[in-house]
Chains A and B, each alone.
Chain A
Amino acid sequence: MKARFSTVLFAVYIAFVFASLVFGFQPGKDIGSNFLTFTLSMLKILPGAFILIGLFQVWVSRERVEKHLGEESSILSFLWVLLLAGTTVGGLYVAFPVAYALYEKGARIQVVLAYIGFAAVSRIPMMIFEASFMGIRFTVVRLAVSIPLVVVSAVVLGRYLKASNWKMTSPQ
């Protein structure tokens, strides 16, 4: 039912863009070209990201993930996901499926949430741009403040979610 609703919505959207093309309605044409631009830039990243997720799924054992990122893992687990986040491409929309893959293999909620936060604030390619346009001081201050806050909020929210028996879900 829900899937059908979004299908109808998307059909209406496509019809609107198409009609705008035919009748020369500029706002509709702009919206359509925005859609294409963003779709293309995302298609450049998503297939690769999902292939890596698939490879991770078949090659990395649950025991290994649990040992380093699971319930019994040490504070180092945050360092591992910080490094992983540093190399994450794209943006949050790539981080979510990666986070789910970690979670499914036994990473604890705190570590999964920290990964999302790190993937937002500390992707290396993004930071290179930032430092070169805003100055290294700006970037260092931002990182020095946001990284500890990401850890603290991930731990607090993670504990709360665990206590309330929350589970991450996979869209199918």
Chain B
Amino acid sequence: MIFYGVVLVLLLLSFFSDRKKTFKALKIAWNRFSGILPAFVLMLVLVSISLYLLPHELVMKYLGEENISRGMGIAMLAGSFALMPGFIVFPLCGILREQGVPYMVLSAFTTTLMMVGVLTLPVEKQYFGIKTALVRNGTGLIIAVIVAVVTGLVFSEVVL
């Protein structure tokens, strides 16, 4: 994995320039990681339960909804609650696209998936506080609607 290659190179560079600083960096890394760990665990618990209640295949089935505004609503709700890595989401969206699901609905889904995180709230509120975290997520929802509508216009799925 390239990422760990980069981490290792930087860590070695740091170590040979200044050992003391490097140990301090590792200590900071550990302290911060262990500080946020309980919130991460809570998030993982929520993810594991929600994935059981709403498996990926089911979400994808619901996105195929005929009515476009209902499809949008479902897409945004699902996108806000789900936590899926890009390498799972986009191949599935590509399949849905071929089945005729509008770009607009897929854009609403992927944008909320990226910007709105109900399941990551336990982590987010540790840094931002619950109020700011909610405002930030609300803003993400609004942005997703705008992105989806513009996508719909560009692909001529809706007309003004």
With A58-B24, A129-B87 as known contacts, state yes or no: A170 contacts B127, CB within 8 Å: yes
CB of B41 within 8 A of CB of A10, answer yes
B80 at the interface (CB under 8 A from A): no
Query: What CA separation (Å) do A58 and B29 show in the bound complex?
Result: 11
- CB-CB under 8 A from B106, the residues of chain A are 134, 138
CB of A169 within 8 A of CB of B146, answer no
Contact-residue size bin, chain A (C-beta under 8 Å from the other chain): 35 or more
A166 at the interface (CB under 8 A from B): yes
What 1/0 mask marks residues of chain A from 118 to 152 whose CB sits below 8 Å from any chain B CB?
00110101100110111001100110011001100
With A48-B7, A120-B115, A146-B143 as known contacts, state yes or no: A141 contacts B151, CB within 8 Å: yes
What's the least CB distance linking B145 to chain A, in Å? 10
- A131's nearest neighbour on chain B, judged by CB, is B90
What's the least CB distance linking B18 to chain A, in Å? 8
What's the least CB distance linking A151 to chain B, in Å? 11
CB of B147 within 8 A of CB of A170, answer no
- CB-CB under 8 A from B14, the residues of chain A are 55, 58-59
B97 at the interface (CB under 8 A from A): yes
What's the least CB distance linking B79 to chain A, in Å? 11
A39 at the interface (CB under 8 A from B): yes
Q: Report whether over half of chain B's contact residues are helix, strand or loop; otherwise say mixed.
A: helix
CB of B110 within 8 A of CB of A130, answer yes
Query: What CA separation (Å) do A7 and B26 show in the bound complex?
Result: 26
Contact-residue size bin, chain B (C-beta under 8 Å from the other chain): 35 or more
What 1/0 mask marks residues of chain A from 83 to 96 whose CB sits below 8 Å from any chain B CB?
00000010111001
With A42-B44, A46-B33, A121-B114 as known contacts, state yes or no: A57 contacts B25, CB within 8 Å: yes
Which A residues between 17 and 44 are near B, CB-CB below 8 angstroms? 27, 30-32, 34-35, 38-39, 41-42, 44
Which B residues between 99 and 122 are near A, CB-CB below 8 angstroms? 103, 106-107, 110-111, 114-115, 117, 120
Extra contacts besides A35-B48, A54-B25, A166-B132 (17): CB < 8 Å? A27-B52, A34-B51, A42-B40, A50-B33, A51-B29, A53-B32, A54-B30, A96-B128, A129-B86, A129-B87, A134-B106, A141-B107, A141-B154, A142-B110, A142-B147, A153-B143, A169-B127
- 11 sample A-B contacts, Cβ–Cβ < 8 Å, listed by A number: A45-B3, A50-B29, A51-B11, A54-B26, A59-B25, A91-B120, A116-B136, A130-B86, A145-B146, A157-B132, A172-B35
- Residues of chain B having any CB pair with chain A under 8 Å: 1, 3-4, 7, 10-11, 14, 21-22, 24-33, 35-36, 38-45, 47-49, 51-52, 83, 85-87, 89-91, 93-94, 97, 103, 106-107, 110-111, 114-115, 117, 120, 123-124, 126-129, 132, 135-136, 139-140, 142-143, 146-147, 150-151, 154-155
- Residues of chain A having any CB pair with chain B under 8 Å: 3, 6-7, 9-10, 13, 27, 30-32, 34-35, 38-39, 41-42, 44-48, 50-55, 57-59, 89, 91-93, 96-97, 99-100, 113, 116-117, 120-121, 123, 125-126, 129-130, 132-134, 137-138, 141-142, 145-146, 149-150, 153, 157, 161, 166, 168-172
